[in-house]
Amino acid sequence: MSGNFEALPGGGAAVSLDEVEVSILRSLAVQMLELIGPGDEPAEGEDPLAALFQDGPSEPPSDPALARLFPDAYGKPGAEAADEDPELRAASAEFRRFTENDLRARKREDALAVVRSLDGLVHDGRAGGRLELTAEESRHWLGALNDLRLTIGTRLDVTDEDEGSGLYRLPDGDPRKPMVMAYLWLGILQETLIDTLIS
């Protein structure tokens, strides 16, 4: 797989993707949209402004991947609620209530931007080619790539100590191998996209 972004004049980025790469990225972005869930659209006749100020959830998600995407603002990462200070739990719940809906909306926008730009690479029923992103599209892609890596890393139980571990040298028959390969490839995409945005 390729996956090296290059800087474009004006702050954008470009990468060449073949049909398989487009398919993988699009599939992962769609799965991310499904994981995050639909947005809360105002009911018919409901004031859209009031819907903007609707409270979000106050409890962390039970799915470990969603908990990684929407972590508590206070306390130790991965700490059991019973082990935490009740004041920190209350502060985290309050913070989540006012921020999670916006964070979910942003993550949906990021994943949708990936799907839309990849759909633009489909010509005559075939996907692939040189993808050119504006600076704003590049920022959406960076957010989506980060979310995808966090999700896959959580599903694989990747930790900071796993660098150079056996997880990256799995035999071809291991069912985790495709996820590990996707995780590593997304890391290359993310790293080269960051480099283009800061150069």
List, for residues 70-119, the tens digit of each pLDDT value.
888 876 665 555 456 788 878 888 888 888 889 999 999 999 999 999 99
Place of tokens 């769609």: 30
pLDDT greater than 90 at residue 57: no
pLDDT greater than 60 at residue 191: yes
pLDDT, tens digit, 9 for 90 and up, residues 114-152? 999 999 988 767 778 999 999 999 999 999 999 999 999
Say if 22 falls within a structural domain.
yes
Say if 110 falls within a structural domain.
yes
pLDDT greater than 90 at residue 15: yes
Say if 1 falls within a structural domain.
no
pLDDT greater than 80 at residue 33: yes
Section 182-199 average pLDDT: 93
Q: Given this model, what pLDDT does residue 105 score?
A: 93
Say if 41 falls within a structural domain.
yes
Q: Which of 26, 36, 19 is nearest to 113 (CA)?
A: 26
In the chain, how many domains are there? 1
pLDDT greater than 80 at residue 63: yes
Say if 88 falls within a structural domain.
yes
Paired with 17 in beta bridges are 129
Model confidence, pTM:
0.84
Host domain of residue 86: 6-198
Q: Given this model, what pLDDT does residue 150 score?
A: 95
Q: Given this model, what pLDDT does residue 30 score?
A: 97
| Range list of H helices, the chain | 19-36, 48-52, 64-69, 86-119, 135-155, 177-198
